[in-house]
Amino acid sequence: MARFVVLVIDSFGVGAMKDVTLVRPQDAGANTCGHILSQLPHLQLPTLETLGLINALGYAPGDMQPSDSATWGGVAELQHEGGDTFMGHQEILGTRPLPPLRMPFRDVIDRVEQALVSAGWQVERRGDDLQFLWVNQAVAIGDNLEADLGQVYNITANLSVISFDDAIKMGRIVREQVQVGRVITFGGLLTDSQCILDAAESKEGRFIGINAPRSGAYDNGFQVVHMGYGVDEKVQVPRKNCMKRACQPCWWVRWQISSAILMA
C-alpha cells in the first residue's frame, strides 16, 4: 500500500489568514517563512523547495524559486478559534473543531477539584487570591502561561513520583470538565516536586499556573499528550499502529510538529 506522508514544521507559517485583522490584529503581517528568507536570502532548503515551499509562500524573497513539479496550496482557510497550533494541525488532517470557551482556570477550579476528588485523587489548593490545584503531592493543574491566556490548561507532573498513565487519567478528568481549546498533560523526571511549586506564576491578576520551562519538566524524561476540545483520538490512527509502522513522530511527538506546505 502506498503511504501518504504529512510533514509538519511548527512555527514556520507562510502568512496570515484573511480575517486576521478582525480576530487577531496582533498577528497581522505574520509570515515566519517569508521573514526568515528575507533575512537569509541565500538559505537553501532544496527538498522543501521541490515540494513547493516558495509556491505556497507566493513570492521569492531569496535564492529559492517556485517549483514546476509541485502540487501545492497556500494559506489554509482554517476555522478553529485563536492561535492554537495544535488545533490547526488537527483541522488540517480532518477534525472539525468545536468553538471553545476562553476563561481563566479560576472559573472552573471548583468543578475540576470536585471531579478529581470524586475519582479518588488527593487534591489541595495552592496560592492566595489566585489558586491552582496540587494533586497527590506531584501534579499541578492550572493555566498554561505560554499560550494565549485562557485558551489552554496544563497538568504538570513529576514523573519520578507518579506514572505518566496516572497523569493522563487526571488530564482526561480535567478535559471532561472544561471547554477550553486544549488540555496539556506533561511531565518529566524531577528530583523534587518542589521544582513545580517553585515555578508557579500569575499573570494579569486572573491567570495562575506553572512556568513550564522553569519547572524543569522538559529537561529529563519529558512526555506529553495534548487533548483538544472536540478531538476524539479514538477515531484517529492509534499510536500503537503508528509505532509498528515506524512513524512515531506522526503521533506522539506531535507537540514539536506543524505543516510545511499547509501551514497553520
What residues does each domain of the chain span? 1-97+239-264, 105-230
- CA separation for the pair 7, 156 (Å, rounded): 28
**Element of type H or E holding 224:** strand 223-228
| Averaged pLDDT score across all residues of the chain | 85
> Look-up: residue for cell 521541490?
50
Helices 164-177, 109-118: crossing angle, 10 deg rounding: 130
Mean pLDDT of 210-221: 97
Q: In this predicted model, what pLDDT tens digit does every residue of 9-40 receive, in sequence order?
A: 878 888 888 888 888 888 889 899 999 999 99
Q: In this predicted model, what pLDDT tens digit does every residue of 143-189 receive, in sequence order?
A: 999 988 999 999 999 999 999 999 999 999 999 999 998 899 999 99
Mean pLDDT of 218-226: 95
Is 80 within 8 Å of 181 (Cβ atoms)? yes
> Does residue 262 carry a pLDDT above 50?
no
How high is the pLDDT of residue 253? 31
> Does residue 2 carry a pLDDT above 50?
yes
Q: In this predicted model, what pLDDT tens digit does every residue of 95-151 receive, in sequence order?
A: 776 777 889 999 999 999 999 999 999 999 999 999 999 999 999 999 999 988 999
How high is the pLDDT of residue 202? 97
Choose among 174, 30, 194, 22: nearest CA to 110.
174
How high is the pLDDT of residue 160? 98
Pairing of strands 152-158, 182-188: parallel
Q: In sequence order, what DSSP letters do the residues of 46-60 get, joined into one string?
A: HHHHHHTHHHHHSS-
Q: In sequence order, what DSSP letters do the residues of 65-107 get, joined into one string?
A: ---SS-----S------SS-HHHHHHHHTT----------GGG
Percent of the chain scored above 70 by pLDDT? Answer: 83
Mean pLDDT of 205-220: 97
Could you tell me which residue, 96 or 214, shows the higher pLDDT?
214
Is 142 within 8 Å of 208 (Cβ atoms)? yes
